[in-house]
Structure 1
């Protein structure tokens, strides 16, 4: 019988097998654990394939978290910053990243977004938390860098949504859908209808929007395949609305309602938005 005492080492495993195993891991393991096992593991884990989808929502990024402490230790950093981790992820993507989603707890600075626009030209999906009012104009200038952008998701509606829609209509020929939440007014709707009328998916769940604006969307975006207005305030899906929406494959309106005190609610929302913007600025300064 042949000698069976030969020892099999993990580092001798075929690279294809390692790739399959590593594809099941998250960004935390790929950046802090796997690269420091051996040279072959480091080589495989740094492949751009694993950084095509960069979802920061799945990570605990607070400076006191175990991940942050390990990351700082492994890369000999005096302290953890979100920008340092993002730069590592983007560098390893080598321009192949096609989806980036930021955590609402750790919103990116405009410098970080500028870096992403330059290093990730093939981006198709972008998920953003609240964008500070002062940065909304600067964000407009970045859209032209993402000509392959197909889906934009924002935790709150920017005040310059019409201008953003215009830039998308000019530069992003493959764009098909957007998800936003906030106070949707006539100018916002006209921006969508005027500049991206061929949009296929529009998710306004949880927003405040009137019946007139809903009808304008239904009349102006004839290629909609899915319209989500769940839990919206300001209109009810009456017979007229449902009749106009008959051509849409998926029309979601569960929980939508009219409130008599909508204006008071809107004013309160504006006050809260200003407060959140203030805390965003304070937190961004602390992180950097």
Structure 2
């Protein structure tokens, strides 16, 4: 069996293709310690094109009460490199990760705790972004800053917002600067008449619109269906405000190849509402992830 090739002897391009898919934690703290060739491969910017940051502030250094003593990305990093927790900077850590992409990052999901400084750094260091995911806390607390920076992401194709907060102003900036946007996903959204009109006015050529678990009245959904004529995908499943079996809505959506309204109802369930915002759900909504 001596003539069989070993993992560490794989071509660098092949290694980079694999390592770019293993996830941030493994790429940072597992793969590089296997062998020298793997460590060298992980330093290539192509391995860091998909920057999906978890929530970096779960009880600060990591003990999630629902999971016991769960080791987070930061906790492992601090332990591995014998760092002083009291002097550890989350902002510096995030910048360090982003810098590894050397401008080649095409998908970015920042942590909900990302600072204004991190946002500005990401805007400067990730000019080639095609997919951008902004968790709800980040949308709420850094709304004005994000809107100022949108103009630096002119290649953006997919945008996932964890909240509909200030949606009209977000879309106004998107319509000016991001001419290639084809997918918009808004999680836990409240879509009123103004929001629906903004989507129609600012993004009339939108291809994919995802509004899972939104509060959206029937008339506002009709506005979207009549105004966004180029949709090939519309997901309004598990929404509140219209009936999933509404015949007029079904007729208006007939031309949409991928239309889903399953689980939607006029009134919400009495069950406790489950916030739709986790890293895996974000991945499902990014067309860049689906095509790779």
State if a TM-score over 0.5 links the two structures.
yes
Q: Structure 1 residues 9, 209: closer, same or farther in 2, change over 3 A?
A: closer
Give 1:128's aligned residue: 134
CA distance in 1, matches of 2:248, 2:14: 57
TM-score, length basis structure 1: 0.77
Give structure 1 stretches of 5+ with no counterpart.
274-288
CA distance in 2, matches of 1:76, 1:93: 24
Give structure 2 stretches of 5+ with no counterpart.
63-70, 276-292
The yes-or-no answer on 1:115 pairing with 2:121 is yes
Q: Contact between 2:131 and 2:159, CA under 8 Å: does it hold in 1?
A: yes
Larger radius of gyration: 1
- Tell me how far 1:89 sits from its aligned partner: 1.7
Give 1:282's aligned residue: none
- Tell me how far 1:20 sits from its aligned partner: 5.4
Give 1:165's aligned residue: 171
Equivalent in 220, 238, 250 of residue 242 of structure 1: 250
Equivalent in 50, 53, 56 of residue 56 of structure 1: 53
Equivalent in 200, 204, 213 of residue 211 of structure 2: 204
Paired residues, number: 257
The yes-or-no answer on 1:99 pairing with 2:107 is yes
TM-score, length basis structure 2: 0.76
Q: Contact between 2:56 and 2:74, CA under 8 Å: does it hold in 1?
A: no
CA distance in 2, matches of 1:246, 1:118: 42
CA distance in 2, matches of 1:114, 1:185: 31
Q: Contact between 1:162 and 1:188, CA under 8 Å: does it hold in 2?
A: yes
Query: Secondary structure of the residue that 2:84 maps to in structure 1?
Result: coil
| Higher alpha-carbon deviation: 56-65 or 170-179 | 56-65
Pairwise mapping of residues 240-279 of structure 1 onto structure 2 (< 5 A)?
240-259=248-267
Q: Structure 1 residues 42, 185: closer, same or farther in 2, change over 3 A?
A: same
Equivalent in 88, 93, 97 of residue 96 of structure 2: 88
Greater helix proportion:
1
The yes-or-no answer on 1:219 pairing with 2:226 is yes
Superposition RMSD in Å: 3.2
| Higher alpha-carbon deviation: 133-142 or 63-72 | 63-72
Give 1:193's aligned residue: 200
Q: Structure 1 residues 32, 220: closer, same or farther in 2, change over 3 A?
A: same
Pairwise mapping of residues 12-27 of structure 1 onto structure 2 (< 5 A)?
15-16=12-13, 18-19=15-16, 22-23=19-20, 25-27=22-24
- Tell me how far 1:169 sits from its aligned partner: 1.0
CA distance in 1, matches of 2:192, 2:257: 25
- Tell me how far 1:50 sits from its aligned partner: 0.7
CA distance in 1, matches of 2:142, 2:174: 17
Q: Structure 1 residues 94, 231: closer, same or farther in 2, change over 3 A?
A: same
- Tell me how far 1:127 sits from its aligned partner: 1.2
The yes-or-no answer on 1:228 pairing with 2:235 is yes
